[in-house]
Amino acid sequence: MPELPEVETIRRDLKEHLVGRKVVSVDIIFPKTAKNGAAFFVKALTGRTLKEVSRRGKLLILKFASDTYLLIHLKMTGQLIYLEKEKKIAGGHSLSAKKQGDLATAVGGELPNKHTRAVFDFQGGGRLFFNDLRKFGYLKIVDQKEMERVVAENYGPEPLEKELDAAYIKRICAGKKTRIKSLLLDQKLIAGLGNIYVDEALFAAGVLPGRQAGTLTSEEAVKLAKVIKVIIKKAIEYRGTTFSDYRDSKGNKGNFSRLLQVYGRGKEKCLQCGGAIKKEKIGGRGSHYCSNCQK
DNA sequence: GTGTTTGTTATCAA
DNA sequence: CTTGATAACAAACA
């Protein structure tokens, strides 16, 4: 479930390893993943050099030479795994992914695997794997104009930007009858928050997820703006939250999971008051909260 | 077999 | 027209 901190972590890793390198070949394994059509997609990227890796909300933007932008959305289960030049061992098999660093460990096996939808080969031997178990994620080639349009039309301010402050929160809540949680999940209002960080932020702010947005007080808006920034910043520091059945138990370092106060803790004790954390569906999403600490 | 998981869009209802 | 709520999508697991 990659939200802003997870996507930002991936962005930094890709930037470090891939900027300045040329794509020598692209293999689309599952055609629907490449929104432009596999043939066009491959042609557009082959031979192009990666110039820059940026992010808007949960959307990754890879800028290539010649006005070519690759938009990548991981949706729920997308992964981008980068492996340096594969070292061949006897028998022609590549070295176990486990031995090739943290990112590879996350997939827990060799690559490509059965969830690999696309593979990018870079000059010098590095390979980037796009894995997506549930096939919701996508890759799309656009030009700068289209990229700017997509960003402008779909994404509100970033949580860490100055624009996201108490006044902004207050403004987007004013007169709204929808639940505060649904509003915070709206990417057009705030870019990058997902189910995990919204639950965490609402707990930290002492606001119930089911509260009508319009009833938010000025004090609560101040608190909410503040905790959103603190939580997102910290989560980025910790390289995101790995909340997946396979990876939890492997004890990944730099994991925000152990700092979660309410998400995934249904029926457990509230770390603040000792009461029971409740879990119920709000706005069609699993929502975790403490009815004692949140009002 | 059933219910649950989530980011985003599409669709429907008020 | 606006706003809000919900279904749908995909696939695997308990």
pLDDT of residue A106: 40
pLDDT of A250 > 50? The answer is no
Query: For strand C, is any atom closer than 7 Å to the CB of A136?
Result: yes
Burial classification of residue A81, based on how many CB atoms lie within 10 Å of its CB (0-12 exposed, 13-18 middle, 19 or more buried): buried
* Tokens (6 digits) for A76: 């729920």
pLDDT of residue A100: 37
CA distance A63 to A169: 32
SS3 of residue A154 by DSSP: helix
Q: Taking Cα atoms as reference points, which of A79, A75, A60, A71 lies closest to residue A129?
A: A79
Query: For strand B, is any atom closer than 7 Å to the CB of A262?
Result: no
Provide CATH code, domain A4-146: 3.20.190.10
Query: For strand B, is any atom closer than 7 Å to the CB of A75?
Result: yes
Query: For strand C, is any atom closer than 7 Å to the CB of A246?
Result: no
pLDDT band at A245 (very low <50, low <70, confident <90, very high): very low
pLDDT of residue A109: 63
pLDDT of residue A125: 86
DSSP state of A276: B
CA of A286 to C1' of C9 (A): 18
CA of A148 to C1' of C6 (A): 30
* Tokens (6 digits) for A286: 């699993």
CA distance A125 to A87: 10
CATH 3.30.70.270 fits A166-289, yes or no: no
- What is the average pLDDT score of chain A? 84
Q: For A207-243, how does the pLDDT look when each residue is reduced to its tens digit (9 = 90+)? A: 999 999 999 999 999 999 999 999 999 999 988 887 6
pLDDT of A251 > 80? The answer is no
Q: How large a percentage of chain A has pLDDT more than 90?
A: 45
pLDDT of residue A244: 55
Q: For A281-290, how does the pLDDT look when each residue is reduced to its tens digit (9 = 90+)? A: 888 888 999 9
Going from N- to C-terminal start, the domains of chain A cover 4-146, 166-289
CA of A90 to C1' of B6 (A): 42
Nearest-CA residue to the C1' of C11?
Answer: A134
CA distance A128 to A80: 7
pLDDT of A249 > 90? The answer is no
The stretches of chain A forming alpha helices (DSSP H) are 4-18, 38-45, 102-107, 144-154, 166-173, 180-185, 195-205, 218-237, 245-248
Q: For A174-199, how does the pLDDT look when each residue is reduced to its tens digit (9 = 90+)? A: 999 889 999 999 988 999 998 889 99
Which nt sits closest to A176, CA to C1'?
A: C3
Q: For A69-89, how does the pLDDT look when each residue is reduced to its tens digit (9 = 90+)? A: 999 988 888 888 888 765 444
Neighbours of A114 (CB within 10 A): 8
pLDDT of residue A265: 86
* Tokens (6 digits) for A73: 């959305």
Q: Do domains A4-146 and A166-289 have the same CATH topology?
A: no
Which nt sits closest to A281, CA to C1'?
A: B4
Residues of A with a known catalytic role:
2-3, 58, 285
CA distance A264 to A67: 42
Neighbours of A131 (CB within 10 A): 23
CA of A203 to C1' of B3 (A): 26
What does pTM read for this prediction? Answer: 0.89
